[in-house]
Amino acid sequence: MNNEQRRRERLDRGIKVRTDGLYAIMSLRELCYLTVPRLVLIVGMLVLPLVMPSMYWQRVISIVCIYALLALGFDFLAHFVGLVCLGGAFFIGVGGYLAAILNTFLGFPPVVTIPIATLLGGAICTLLLLPCLPLRGVYFAIVTLMYPLVLMRIIEALNILGGTDGIMGVASFANRWIEQYFVISMVVLFLFGLRRLVNLDIGLVFRAVKDNDQAVRASGMNITFYKAIAVFVASCLGCLGGACLVHIYMWSGISLFALDFSILPIAATVIGGAGTVVGPVLGCFILVPISELLRAFGTLRIVFYCLILVAFIVFRSEGIMVYGQRKYHQFERWVTI
């Protein structure tokens, strides 16, 4: 009988270990190992609007970035704080309507409306979600899914804020270059900002809440407070996206509460690699353009879209970035045991 089995062994590359500390600045090779992936990402995103063939595709890039902001917020909440939030559309809607109101009724330019809509929207979303914060897991997910639906029906039924027609005549960005580079720089900023945040001491508290909230309580910390901070960060991201979206489309309507904004970021996170922060952004850059390309198939678009999603989940369930980071940092070999 043959008891020998083969197993894949994974080992960290020497260069990964060397670049962990101060030794990273000892040689060009190590420096490149650290900086090239980040530079590729940043430069790639900055070049993207220049290489797009048409205005239509440039607009797609802006939309991708808005989804990326949402996906960043989702990944942060779900994998670093343990709150699975299906309320992406809620954040977009609140941010969008706030920006539209500030712009059309009060006459503020986008430079003012976007920061205000981001911070104020984040505060409003956090306040509204406050009663749900003690909930965990699937319960929190279901409740947050309800929020955009509720707001949408309220606007529709009471016929406030333009009712089903929405608020029209919202000012646009000064020109399309400003529009694109603004959203792109926001994505890059928050991408690296969040990565920094989760490794700070307060970020460790967030991760601890995910791992074991009872132990955090036993450490003398109010978990609801820290969850509220995390939700504020994520909802600010969403509201920023919403405010940009409204200024891009020059219109704010109840379609801002559409389910797409809640679901697509999750799909992007699954495809890109959960818990990597950069994965969800990558996922958006794959999913949204695919969905645009598939428009050629007309009504069958969703079918192909689903097939692609299923294929990803079956064959690469860990996500692109998790797979990519593993290949980058480790080498594999077969050992017999």
Work out whether 313 is an interface residue with another protein (CB under 8 A): no
Nearer to another protein, 218 or 337 (CB): 218
Token pair, residue 91, equals 């954040």
Dist. CA 212–CA 83, nearest whole Å: 13
Nearer to another protein, 39 or 202 (CB): 202
CB of 198 to another protein, least distance (A): 11
Task: Please check whether residue 163 is in contact with residue 155, taking contact to mean a CB–CB distance below 8 angstroms.
Answer: yes
Nearer to another protein, 207 or 316 (CB): 207
Work out whether 274 is an interface residue with another protein (CB under 8 A): no
Work out whether 84 is an interface residue with another protein (CB under 8 A): no
Dist. CA 113–CA 99, nearest whole Å: 5
Work out whether 222 is an interface residue with another protein (CB under 8 A): yes
CB of 137 to another protein, least distance (A): 17
Residues forming beta bridges with residue 194, ordered by sequence position? none
Out of 211, 293, 300, 310, name the contact with another protein by CB under 8 A.
211
Work out whether 201 is an interface residue with another protein (CB under 8 A): yes
Q: Contact region for another protein (CB under 8 A) — 116-124, 139-147, 157-165, 216-224?
A: 216-224
Q: Contact region for another protein (CB under 8 A) — 83-91, 106-114, 217-225, 257-265?
A: 217-225
The dihedral built from the CA positions of residue 206, 190, 267 and 250, taken in this order, carries a sign that is: positive
Find the Cα–Cα–Cα–Cα dihedral 323, 327, 328, 331, rounded to 10°.
150
Work out whether 150 is an interface residue with another protein (CB under 8 A): no
Nearer to another protein, 16 or 176 (CB): 16
Work out whether 25 is an interface residue with another protein (CB under 8 A): no
Nearer to another protein, 179 or 213 (CB): 213
Work out whether 221 is an interface residue with another protein (CB under 8 A): yes
The dihedral built from the CA positions of residue 269, 262, 119 and 202, taken in this order, carries a sign that is: negative
* SS3 state of residue 330: strand
Dist. CA 90–CA 121, nearest whole Å: 10
Work out whether 205 is an interface residue with another protein (CB under 8 A): yes
CB of 146 to another protein, least distance (A): 27
Beta strands in the chain (DSSP E): 6-12, 167-168, 251-252, 330-336
Token pair, residue 121, equals 């929207």
Dist. CA 13–CA 303, nearest whole Å: 41
Work out whether 320 is an interface residue with another protein (CB under 8 A): no
Dist. CA 196–CA 193, nearest whole Å: 5
Residues that bind another protein in the complex, under the rule CB under 8 A: 200-202, 204-205, 207-208, 210-212, 214-223
